[in-house]
Amino acid sequence: MAAEMRLPTIQKQGSMSIYGKGRKDLVVPGDIITSDTGFMRGHGTYVDEDKLTASVAGEVERVDKLICVKPLKTRFNGEVGDVVVGRITEVQQKRWKVETNSRLDSVLLLSAVNLPGGELRRRSAEDELTMREYLHEGDLISAEVQSVFSDGALSLHTRSLKYGKLGQGVLVQVSPSLIKRQKTHFHNLPCGASIILANNGFVWLYPTPEQQEEEAGGFYTSLEPVNLSDREVISRLRNCIMALAAHKVLLYDTSVLYCFESSLQHQVKDILKPEVMEEIVMLTQQKLLEQKG
């Protein structure tokens, strides 16, 4: 049985100090945020003896007089308009249950999906009987949060052609707090793959499609074999995302692309080695700082 052995490497001291200048306040439960009574209490805080105290571990965020603590690791708290990637867990009457990394299963109503072929009509009993032909247990979908129920469960919709059933690709799960909010979460990267950075922490990597099948209404999934070069690119992107997530770096199209470029000098299987991972992430952070500077 072959065993891989690696020699210890010398850590470069002080090389990460340049990244600490712009960091926000980090607190743990019980830390006093402020004793000023002029601030309002937000999520993740409570008042103890007239002092605003953190109730979760995370970053302190201040908006005017409102102070809240954003947890570093948490379940997904969806808002209207969020892009999510989820897995169908159950088919019920006129609805699908979807697992979206939130506290409760999300709901996708039959009336909130495009019919195959893009038909615009009322849903009939026949549509209800053929729901499993559209989506069945285990299918992955991309969707948008349409509304939030009173108990916190999310109502989804896939009425746009960019949403719908996902085909061949790789799913990577990270903390939702690592996904940077942007105008669009669908990106065609110049390296030859596409990525969906969903707000719920599910990242979907897939080969960039040559043409979009609009007549399918979001249910068309290509089952053509993916060539070796595309599989290598997707595998490299997957390992890059895992490396960025391990070092708590925000995930968005620029950071993922810089990390991909920094990893090209290494083999795909070596990216997740601790010393290689640290080197790649450090190069990525330097590029991001140069871009901001």
Sign of torsion over alpha carbons 173, 177, 182, 183 = positive
pLDDT value of residue 96 = 93
pLDDT value of residue 218 = 54
pLDDT value of residue 130 = 82
pLDDT value of residue 129 = 82
pLDDT along the chain (293 residues), means of 10: 65 44 72 88 89 90 89 86 94 92 92 74 79 88 93 91 89 92 92 93 90 52 81 94 92 94 92 92 93 81
pLDDT value of residue 24 = 53
pLDDT value of residue 192 = 87
pLDDT value of residue 17 = 39
* Sequence-ordered list of residues with C-beta below 8 angstroms from that of 160, at least 6 positions apart, any chain: 144
Nearest to 205 by CA among 233, 243, 245: 233
Domain 26-71 = CATH 2.40.50.100? yes
HEC profile of the chain: CCCCCCCCCCCCCCCCHHHCCCCCCEECCCCEEECCCCCEECCCEEEECCEEEECCCEEEEEECCEEEEEECCCCCCCCCCCEEEEEEEEEECCEEEEECCCCCCEEEEEEEECCCCCCCCCCCHHHHHCHHHHCCCCCEEEEEEEEECCCCCEEEEECCCCCEECCCCEEEECCHHHECCCCCCEEECCCCEEEEECCCCEEEEEECCCCCCHHHCCCCCCCCCCCHHHHHHHHHHHHHHHHHHHCCCCECHHHHHHHHHHCCCCCHHHCCCHHHHHHHHHHHHHHHHHHHC
Name residue 271's beta-bridge partners: none
Sequence letter at residue 115 = L
